[in-house]
Amino acid sequence: MAWVEKKLIVDAIAFQRADLDFYGLTYEECSKAVHVLHSGKVYVGPDAIAFLLGRRGNWVLGFIVRASGLLGRFGYKWVAGHRNSWLIKLATRIIERSL
């Protein structure tokens, strides 16, 4: 969330500490993908990332994520499943420095 919070004010809550019942979410859902709740709508996984990118002014990248369809969903799941790998950690550092 650090890259989002550089340009947006967000109320980020770790799902492990959130009242998931209040939001109509389950622990299992939240452990598999990021969820963004905005104006009564829930964005999940790559849709959540695309929404956040658009809100922070990265319209082109948000469009690419949204338009990539199945490839984007596969990529999101792969990254989520490997988030603790050295490759993803390195990519995260590069992205954070460039934004």
The per-residue pLDDT of the chain, averaged, comes to: 86
Which of helix, strand or coil describes residue 45? coil
Residue 43, pLDDT > 90, answer: yes
Q: Is the pLDDT of residue 98 over 70?
A: no
Q: Provide DSSP, 54-86.
A: HHTT-HHHHHHHHHTHHHHHHHHHHHHHTTTSH
pTM of this structure: 0.76
Pairwise pLDDT comparison (83 vs 54), residue with the higher score: 54
